[in-house]
A and B are shown apart, each in its own frame.
Chain A
Amino acid sequence: MLAYLLNLATLMCINAVLAITLNFIMGYAGIFSIAHAIFFGVGAYSAAWLALHASANIFLVIPLAMLVAGALSLVLALPALRVRGEYFVAASLGLQVLGVTVFSEWKSVTGGLGGMIGIPPAELFGHAVADPVQFLLLALCCLIPVLLLTSVLLRSSFGRNLKAIRDSESAAHACGKNVAVIKTLSVVISAMLAAVAGALYAFYMGFINVESFMLDTSVLLMAMVIIGGTGTLLGPLVGTVLLMLLPGVFSYMSFLPQTEIGSIQQIAYGLAMVLLMIYRPGGIVGSSSARPAKEKAA
């Protein structure tokens, strides 16, 4: 039971980092990306490759994984940010599909569909972090700075600019804000922090393959943010905890057919999303009132 709880808590920390970083662009910059799992994957593959071929020292692996994800997000963000709204969603879907194809086909680096196995445990000051309790602490030590950093950024002028762009991009332009740079920076920061979760995941599982970075992961992360409350600091945390507890809760309900738990879980996610959108569009933590439609650009 303790092992199960530790595993759940560690995965919650990793997913919370992802949900917080997705909320950073989705809730504050209004960039609805369904390619977040790709940056998670880039972080995981970069960390796994470094751990297998160079060093498992997290002070080396995590910054390098962040750099790779940041650089890649920059390359992809620049053309993608030229489109807005639903067009960006479509563009990010294209990126998600492209990323999955690269993960599954670039066999020399990613191991193809079979993935990468035998990833050594993370090293911290020469000590291998293999114990589940220690790894949970490591995951918490990554989650807290990510939460603090995003909180500081969002309370600063950068955060105000992000929110201004979300509310009216054309007005932000008219106020002298370089919207393209601010949006690109937000995507880069989000991707870099998502790579932290990727690196943690690779070390924790000891094995990664493309299955963990598919479209359903991106959709699940989006559901965590929306259910918790977009554009709120605590919303992604609440959404992550709720959605990760749900499978466990269902498996303890003996009257449910255990072979259909996966399907029941999907139905519950779907229902929760629909009901929330009707009765509490701001999410559990967010405002109870619906947001107005975004104003049209000039």
Chain B
Amino acid sequence: MNAITEHESAMQAALAPQGDGEVLLSIRHLNKSFGGLKVTNDVSLDLRAGIVTTLVGPNGAGKTTLFNQITGHLVPDDGEILWRGQSLIGRRHFQIARMGIARTFQDLRLFNQMSVEENVLTVMEPVSWIWQPGGRAARQQRLERVHDILARTGLETKARTRAIDLSYAERKFLSMARIMAADARIWLLDEPASGLDRSSYERFLGLLRSEVAKGVTVCIIEHNLDIVVGISDRIAFLDQGKLLADGLPDEVLKNPHLAAIYFGDQTS
């Protein structure tokens, strides 16, 4: 047991965070338990501007729980989450979203009875009342932006279709369209490409690359190793709530100890 702990410590120290961008989101010694189960165990992680960080790990490693704590859907027991130096602890989820942290959900959570266009437009509207600031000109700009986003996600012909009536791949792209409309500095994507066929998956990768090139900072939970390799600047490996490694993709993915955990062979 001690040997494993020493091994983990050495690995974390060796795989120092990469990238020179500003630290947008800093997680410090975060802890969260559900009863006796520790789902986040002293996790510290920095998300830097312009960097794509992928969270990998077996099911139940605490990846989505970490997202839920960052976005305020869960309150950590202990530790700190700083967004550009400001603490997110105690803030409500909508306030965190308004600060520039957007997320998608593994189960998508689209606004099912609303049209594709409305799904995207709703995210863009800054005020929740009848009138929006900027009048007709601003509304026209928003509509043009909606159509631009729908064109980029391949949903322009489905603008008037209800979200519930879309195919699975289209629903995935609508989830992406919604986050693109949020104007956020950082995207937290929870398994955005799971279940996509090959061509949709290629389209998704292209879309993500073009958005990253525009300066969006991304943190992805992903099991598909092609995507992990194809898009990641850094990989953070979680297991049983603990951050076991945080570093360059090659270094993390080629680590036999982590591969053994990921693929279920604990004996190696």
- Tell me the bound Cα distance from A152 to B118 in angstroms: 16
Chain A residue at minimum C-beta to C-beta distance from B142: A157
* Cβ < 8 Å to A, chain B residues 116-163: 118, 121-123, 125, 127-132
Query: What is the distance, in angstroms, from B71's C-beta to the closest C-beta of chain A?
Result: 6
Chain B residue at minimum C-beta to C-beta distance from A28: B113
Q: Does B111 reach chain A (CB closer than 8 Å)?
A: yes
B105's contact among A156, A158, A164, A170, by CB below 8 Å, is which? A170
Cβ A173 vs Cβ B128 within 8 A? no
Cβ A177 vs Cβ B111 within 8 A? no
Cβ A171 vs Cβ B129 within 8 A? no
Q: Does B61 reach chain A (CB closer than 8 Å)?
A: no
Chain B residue at minimum C-beta to C-beta distance from A167: B111
Most buried by B among A174, A177, A298: A174
- Tell me the bound Cα distance from A231 to B128 in angstroms: 19
* Cβ < 8 Å to B, chain A residues 117-154: 152-153
Chain B contact surface mostly: loop
Most buried by A among B68, B108, B130, B131: B130
Query: What is the distance, in angstroms, from A14's C-beta to the closest C-beta of chain B?
Result: 26
Known: A163-B111, A167-B112, A168-B109. A157 touches B97 (CB 8 A): no
Cβ A173 vs Cβ B94 within 8 A? yes
Cβ B127 vs Cβ A171 within 8 A? no
Cβ B73 vs Cβ A163 within 8 A? no
Query: What is the distance, in angstroms, from A36's C-beta to the closest C-beta of chain B?
Result: 22
* Cβ < 8 Å to B, chain A residues 280-298: 291-292, 295-296, 298
Cβ B113 vs Cβ A291 within 8 A? yes
Q: Does B223 reach chain A (CB closer than 8 Å)?
A: no
Q: How would residues 177 to 209 of chain A score, 1 for a CB under 8 Å from any chain B CB and 0 otherwise?
A: 111011000000000000000000000000000
Cβ B128 vs Cβ A174 within 8 A? no
Contacts of B75 in A (CB 8 A): none
- Tell me the bound Cα distance from A255 to B131 in angstroms: 57
Q: Does B231 reach chain A (CB closer than 8 Å)?
A: no
- Tell me the bound Cα distance from A178 to B182 in angstroms: 15
Q: Does B178 reach chain A (CB closer than 8 Å)?
A: yes
Query: What is the distance, in angstroms, from A224's C-beta to the closest C-beta of chain B?
Result: 21
A176's contact among B118, B130, B182, by CB below 8 Å, is which? B182
Cβ B122 vs Cβ A161 within 8 A? yes
A158's contact among B92, B103, B128, by CB below 8 Å, is which? B128
Query: What is the distance, in angstroms, from A288's C-beta to the closest C-beta of chain B?
Result: 13
B103's contact among A161, A166, A174, by CB below 8 Å, is which? A174
Q: Does A3 reach chain B (CB closer than 8 Å)?
A: no
- Tell me the bound Cα distance from A280 to B122 in angstroms: 29
Cβ B114 vs Cβ A175 within 8 A? no
Contacts of A181 in B (CB 8 A): 128
**Interface residue tally for chain B (C-beta within 8 Å):** 35
- Tell me the bound Cα distance from A65 to B121 in angstroms: 36
Chain B residue at minimum C-beta to C-beta distance from A168: B109
Contacts of B71 in A (CB 8 A): 174
B128's contact among A166, A171, A178, A295, by CB below 8 Å, is which? A178
Q: Does A84 reach chain B (CB closer than 8 Å)?
A: no
Q: Does A107 reach chain B (CB closer than 8 Å)?
A: no
Cβ B114 vs Cβ A163 within 8 A? yes
Cβ B111 vs Cβ A157 within 8 A? no
Contacts of A166 in B (CB 8 A): 113
Chain A residue at minimum C-beta to C-beta distance from B129: A158
- Tell me the bound Cα distance from A161 to B113 in angstroms: 12
- Tell me the bound Cα distance from A178 to B97 in angstroms: 10
Q: Does B93 reach chain A (CB closer than 8 Å)?
A: yes
Query: What is the distance, in angstroms, from A23's C-beta to the closest C-beta of chain B?
Result: 14
A157's contact among B92, B98, B122, B182, by CB below 8 Å, is which? B122
Q: Does B226 reach chain A (CB closer than 8 Å)?
A: no
Contacts of A164 in B (CB 8 A): 111, 114, 122
Chain A residue at minimum C-beta to C-beta distance from B125: A157
Contacts of B112 in A (CB 8 A): 167-168, 291-292, 295
Q: Does B107 reach chain A (CB closer than 8 Å)?
A: yes
- Tell me the bound Cα distance from A178 to B92 in angstroms: 9
* Cβ < 8 Å to B, chain A residues 250-298: 291-292, 295-296, 298
Q: Does B10 reach chain A (CB closer than 8 Å)?
A: no
* Chain A residues near B (Cβ < 8 Å): 152-153, 156-158, 160-161, 163-164, 166-168, 170-179, 181-182, 231, 291-292, 295-296, 298
Could you give 14 example pairs across A and B, Cβ below 8 Å? A152-B130, A157-B128, A157-B129, A157-B132, A163-B111, A164-B111, A167-B113, A171-B109, A173-B73, A174-B73, A175-B102, A291-B113, A292-B164, A295-B109
Contacts A171-B110, A173-B73, A296-B107 supplied; 13 other A-B pairs, CB < 8 Å: A161-B128, A164-B114, A170-B93, A171-B111, A173-B92, A173-B94, A174-B105, A175-B102, A175-B122, A178-B94, A292-B112, A295-B107, A298-B73
List 8 A-B pairs, minimum CB-CB distance, nearest first. A171-B109, A176-B97, A298-B73, A168-B109, A156-B130, A167-B111, A173-B93, A157-B125
